[in-house]
Amino acid sequence: MTGTRMAAIQMASGPNVAANLDEAGKLIAAAAADGASLVVLPENFGLIGQSETAKLEHAEPDGSGPQQDYLAAAAARHGIWLIGGSVPIATAGGERVRQRLLVFGPDGGCAAKYDKIHLFDVELDNGETYRESSGIEPGDAVVTLDLPIGRLGLTICYDLRFPELYRQLLDRGAEIFVVPSAFTKATGRAHWEVLLRARSIENLAWTVAPAQGGYHVNGRETWGHTMIVDPWGTVVAERANGNGFVAAEFDRERMEATRRRFPATRHRRLHDSSGEAQ
């Protein structure tokens, strides 16, 4: 498909991979029927277990497994570009996984992979503690991808807090940032919208942010508020609660006009130690 419609799916995934994939399939079909040529699933769409060790139990070898095979088949069945927000991919040592975003094309082939770089190791004021590094091995590669709809910059969840990553994506030509996420309720309420809008505003780019939203069997509550943001920082589509999707047309003309009239990204003067503009 060469359309310009983008869709971001919201879920509240649990520990049953088959049930999660069944729900994801219904939402993918609905988004495709709505005309989306690009559909993006949230982080952990296939599995949110009782603990981080659940990812180890359901880790898939690179290139094959229930979640990867499902994504490939769904992309081909609907003739769309489909992004699985994250799939746990086994590592050589077997003690941790890679939190991997996967992009599948209309032919069912895997077109790109991105391993989450920044891991959520934090202690919140409400007593919640997270240690993603206990079960996840970080990636180190910045990944962009050309699709018929536009050039994507690939990120996952906690990456959103690191603007230097998005500057590197911009320098590689990104026009659309994808940010599949599972923000906690506490951090989402405080920071989700403002961070998404900031990444769009400072880079004059579109941002597509599917999210986990709801209660999970491990006691966690995720924020939801799946949204799509335009290059001026306007939230053009949002779903606060419940399973479903939001969609919007990628408007390259609007983006290019904004970048032309308000060329902030070309006014950058500070550089990092390598001499690259930041």
Instruction: Confirm whether 157 is a catalytic residue.
Output: yes
Rounded CA-CA distance 157/278 in Å is 21
pLDDT (tens digit, 9 = 90+) per residue, 234-247? Answer: 999 999 999 999 99
Domains of the chain: 5-267 (3.60.110.10)
pLDDT (tens digit, 9 = 90+) per residue, 94-125? Answer: 999 999 999 999 999 999 999 999 999 999 99
Residue-wise DSSP of 70-129: HHHHHHHHHTSEEEEEEEEEE-SSSSSEEEEEEEE-TTS-EEEEEE--S--EEE-TTS-E
Mean pLDDT value across residues 70-75: 98
The one catalytic residue among 60, 132, 157, 175? 157
Whether 1 shows a pLDDT value over 60: the answer reads no
Whether 52 shows a pLDDT value over 90: the answer reads no
Please state, as a whole number, how many other Cβ atoms lie within 10 Å of the Cβ of residue 265: 15
The one catalytic residue among 43, 132, 137, 175? 43
The one catalytic residue among 113, 116, 132, 185? 116
Pairs from 264-267 (Cβ < 8 Å, separation ≥ 24): 264/202, 264/204, 265/170, 265/203, 265/204
- SS3 at position 205: coil
Provide the whole-model pTM.
0.96
Rounded CA-CA distance 251/218 in Å is 40
